[in-house]
Amino acid sequence: MPEPDPSAVREWLRGIEVFARPLPVFDPERAPAEPSALFLAWLTEAVDAGVPDPHAMTLSTVDEAGDPDARVLILKNADGSGFQFAAHAASPKGVQLAGAPRAALTFYWAEFGRQVRVRGAVVPDAPERSAADFLARGATARAEALLGRQSRYLTDSGARDRALGESLARVETEPGLVDPAWTLYTVVPDTVEFWQAAASRVHVRLRYERESTGWQRHQLWS
Ligand SMILES: Cc1cc2nc3c(=O)[nH]c(=O)nc-3n(C[C@H](O)[C@H](O)[C@H](O)COP(=O)(O)O)c2cc1C
C-alpha cells in the first residue's frame, strides 16, 4: 500500500465540516446557580434525542511520571456532590488515581455541539456503595473484574478464556462475592465548563468555579 500523501490527508480533514447542523442556542445569563442542574438538563436532552452512549465521558488522569492518560468510561451518577464512575483499583487508572487523586472529565454530545469539562479531586466512595455497584454488574463483568488483569498484556487467549470461565463459575456459585478492589470514585468538581458550539463560530462558554461562598459563573472567550 503506498504511503498516504500527508498534504492530501490535511486537505481531506480540512474538507470535513464541523458543526454543520442546527445547534441549540445557549444563554448563559439564564443558567442555573448549580452546575449539576445544567449538566443534568444537557444530559437529559442528549438521552431524549437518542444520542448514542450519552453517558460516556473521557476520564483524564496523570501517571507517576506526570504523563497524562485518558480513556472513555461510563458515568454512574451525577448530583450536587459530584460525578461518579467505577473502576478496578488495580487498573492503570486506579493506580494513577491512588498516586494523584485528581482528574478531568470530558463529555461531548456531537448532535448538539455541546462539551462539558469537569476538573476536581477524586474521592473513593464508601466500601459498601462500591460493593453495591459491583453486585449490580452483569456476571461476566464481575468475573472479569475479579481477575483484576485489566490492561495487562494478553499473550494467550486460550488461558484468558479458561481463567474467565473459572471466574464466571465462581461468580455463579457465590453470587454475593464482591471484589474489594472495585471502587466507585467521585470527581468533586472545582470547575465545570459548559461549551456550546455556534454556527457563527462565536461559541458560548460558561465556567462554574467553586468559591468558599458557593459557585461563581464566568463567561469565557471562545
Ligand atoms: C464507550 C466506552 C465505555 C467504556 N466504559 C468503561 C467502563 O465503564 N469501565 C471500564 O473500566 N472501562 C470502560 N471502557 C474501556 C476503557 O476506555 C479502558 O479501555 C479501560 O478501562 C482500561 O483503562 P486503563 O488501562 O486506563 O485503566 C469503555 C470504553 C468505551 C469506548
| pLDDT(2) > 70 | no
Alpha-carbon torsion, ordered 127, 129, 131, 137, to 10 deg: -150
Could you give the CA distance from residue 174 to residue 144 in angstroms, rounded to a whole number? 15
Q: What is the mean predicted confidence (pLDDT) over 43-67?
A: 98
- Residue 40 belongs to a domain: yes
- Residue 43 belongs to a domain: yes
CB contact set of 7 (below 8 Å; sequence gap of 6+) = none
Could you give the CA distance from residue 127 to residue 93 in angstroms, rounded to a whole number? 18
- Residue 92 belongs to a domain: yes
Beta-bridge partners for 64: none
For the chain, the domain total comes to 1
CATH number for the domain spanning 42: value is 2.30.110.10
- Residue 71 belongs to a domain: yes
- Residue 146 belongs to a domain: no
* Best probe residue, ligand 1, of 74, 133, 137, 149 (max atoms within 8 Å of C-beta): 74
pLDDT for 68 = 98
Could you give the CA distance from residue 98 to residue 62 in angstroms, rounded to a whole number? 10
Structural domain harbouring 88:
26-135+180-219
Measured in Å, residue 71 CA sits from the centre of ligand 1 at 6
| pLDDT(1) > 70 | no
Q: ipTM of the assembly?
A: 0.98
- Residue 165 belongs to a domain: no
- Residue 20 belongs to a domain: no
User: Given the C-alpha cell 452546575, which residue does it identify?
Assistant: 35
pLDDT, one tens digit per residue, over 138-169 is 999 999 999 999 999 999 999 999 999 999 99
- Residue 16 belongs to a domain: no
| pLDDT(199) > 90 | no
Cα radius of gyration (the chain): 21
